[in-house]
């Protein structure tokens, strides 16, 4: 099968959905003439014109507000917030408007917007270009958060998100844009809310997503070959609502769990997953659930700081050993 990188896969998803569904529009800073800061929206302006592909001023609240309003009128806006860290500037629109519109107005309306944004650390870009933001929205009913880890899933989940009738925050880990993989040419939608077992195993369940998923797979590989520990690795793919069933059935089998997420530990989505596992699989657990996260500090500039703070494969390996040795 043909190989694309993550960015190209996303770009293809947008081209295909805009072609097949005239309700899809794209807006954001530098998405039109430049094709996006990371190039994800390249070629859309030429193909679909200024009405449907719009460069906006540097106005995040207006971008998401405009997406909401257009969605209320039946369009399917895909908005880009250049870096996830800037979503703070349209937090109100997402929390108090997109998330609640359908409920507040008693089902009279839907807000099927997709907010694409580049998240995560590793770019050496410090405090305001490195954050993982999913936990900021975890306590907001009405929102959906999708986070692919491969080019294949990037395409399928973006199409799935665009077709979904709910407001979706779509996280693109910036260190994954250049990663490559097989991607079918035809359009396909992957289901929202469904995790995938990336590697079956019997001793320990590792739950991860985005860049950390790859670290988890690398750690699992090493643990299998060097220490004969068999890890089952689950790619969450949707962070909210996450796929309890897949996680719980794995935990039933392994009884030991390592949760991996790139955000600071306190209050990350790992906390919620851990709490749910305890509630629903307490008797299955042979050890407390281990959480692998960033340290509880901001992401500094100097590489040594970032590298120390952000979890890597070694942290995952250590956590696996810890739940095994418990």
Partner 1 sequence: MAADKQTLLDYYRKMVLIRRFEETMEEHAKKGYIPGFLHLGIGQEAAQVGTMATFAPGDYVLPDHRSHGVCLMVGTPTREVMAEIFGKKTGTNGGRGGSMHVADFKRGNVGNNAIQGSTMATACGLALAAQVKKTKAVTFNFIGDGTVGRGEFHESLNLAGIWKLPIVYVLVNNGYAISTRATDAHPLADLAKMGCAYNVPGITVDGNDVEAVHAAAKEATDRARRGEGATIIELKTYRWQGHFSGDPASYRPEEEVKTWKEKCPIRRLRDTLLQRKLADMAALKAIENDVEREIQDALKFSIDSPAPTIEDALTFVYVGREVTGK
Ligand X SMILES: Cc1ncc(C[n+]2csc(CCOP(=O)(O)OP(=O)(O)O)c2C)c(N)n1
Q: Among all residues, which ones are annotated catalytic?
A: 129
Task: Report whether the peptide linkage leading into residue 241 is cis, meaning its omega lies within 30 degrees of zero.
Answer: yes
Nearer to partner 1, 166 or 179 (CB): 166
Residue among 166, 179, 230, 249 that touches partner 1 (CB under 8 A): 166
CB of 318 to partner 1, least distance (A): 9
DSSP 216-238: HHHHHHHHHHHH---EEEEE-SE
325 binds its own copies (CB under 8 A): no
Which of the choices ligand X, its own copies, partner 1, none does residue 116 contact, using the CB cut-off of 5 to 8 A by kind? none
109 binds partner 1 (CB under 8 A): yes
Nearer to ligand X, 169 or 217 (CB): 169
Scanning 82-90, 93-101, 232-240, 292-300 for contacts with ligand X by CB under 6 A, the matching segment is: 82-90
135 binds ligand X (CB under 6 A): no
Give Cα 91 distance to the centre of its chain. 17
Task: Report 20-39 residues binding ligand X (CB under 6 A).
Answer: 29
Contact string (CB under 6 A) for ligand X, positions 53-72, x = contact = -----x-x------------
203 binds partner 1 (CB under 8 A): no
The DSSP letter of residue 98 is I
Pairing, β 180-182 against β 290-294: unpaired
313 binds partner 1 (CB under 8 A): no
Task: Report 55-84 residues binding partner 1 (CB under 8 A).
Answer: 55-62, 64-75, 77
Distance CA 255, CA 286 (A): 5
Question: Contact, 257 vs 323, CB < 8 A?
Answer: yes
Contact string (CB under 8 A) for its own copies, positions 266-295, x = contact = xxxxxxx-xx--xx--x--x-xxxxx----
By CB neighbour count within 10 A (0-12 exposed, 13-18 middle, 19+ buried), where does 189 fall? middle
Nearer to partner 1, 58 or 202 (CB): 58
What is the strand order of the sheet 168-173 is part of? 53-55, 24-28, 76-83, 114-119, 168-173, 144-146, 238-240
Question: Contact, 98 vs 111, CB < 8 A?
Answer: yes
């Amino acid at each position: 099968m043909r190989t694309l990188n993550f960015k190209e896969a996303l770009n293809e998803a947008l081209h295909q959905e805009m072609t097949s569904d005239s309700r899809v529009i794209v807006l954001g800073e530098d998405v039109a003439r430049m094709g996006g800061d990371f190039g994800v929206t390249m070629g859309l302006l030429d193909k679909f014109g200024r009405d449907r592909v719009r460069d906006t001023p540097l106005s995040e609240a207006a971008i998401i507000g405009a997406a909401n309003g257009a969605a209320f009128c039946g369009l399917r806006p895909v908005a880009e917030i250049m870096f996830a860290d800037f979503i703070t500037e349209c937090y109100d629109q997402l929390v108090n408007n997109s998330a609640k519109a359908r409920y507040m107005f008693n089902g009279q309306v839907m807000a099927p917007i997709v907010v694409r944004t580049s998240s995560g650390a590793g770019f050496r870009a410090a405090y305001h270009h490195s954050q993982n933001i999913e936990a900021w929205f975890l306590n907001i009913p009405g929102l959906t958060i999708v986070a692919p880890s491969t080019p294949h899933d990037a395409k399928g989940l973006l199409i799935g998100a665009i077709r979904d009738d709910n407001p979706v925050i779509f996280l693109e880990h910036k260190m994954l844009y250049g990663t490559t993989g097989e991607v079918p040419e035809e359009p396909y939608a992957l289901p929202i809310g469904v995790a995938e077992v990336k590697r079956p195993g019997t001793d320990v369940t590792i739950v991860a997503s985005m860049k950390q998923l790859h670290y988890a797979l690398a750690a699992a590989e090493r643990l299998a070959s060097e220490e004969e520990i068999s890890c089952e690795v689950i790619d969450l793919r949707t962070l909210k609502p996450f796929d309890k069933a897949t996680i719980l059935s794995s935990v039933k089998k392994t009884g030991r769990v390592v949760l991996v997420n790139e955000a600071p530990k306190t209050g990350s989505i790992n906390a919620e997953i851990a709490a749910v596992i305890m509630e629903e699989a307490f008797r299955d657990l042979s050890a407390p659930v281990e959480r692998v996260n960033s340290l509880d500090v901001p992401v500094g500039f100097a590489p040594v700081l970032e590298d120390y703070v952000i979890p890597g494969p070694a942290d995952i390996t250590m956590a696996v050993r810890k739940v095994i040795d418990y």
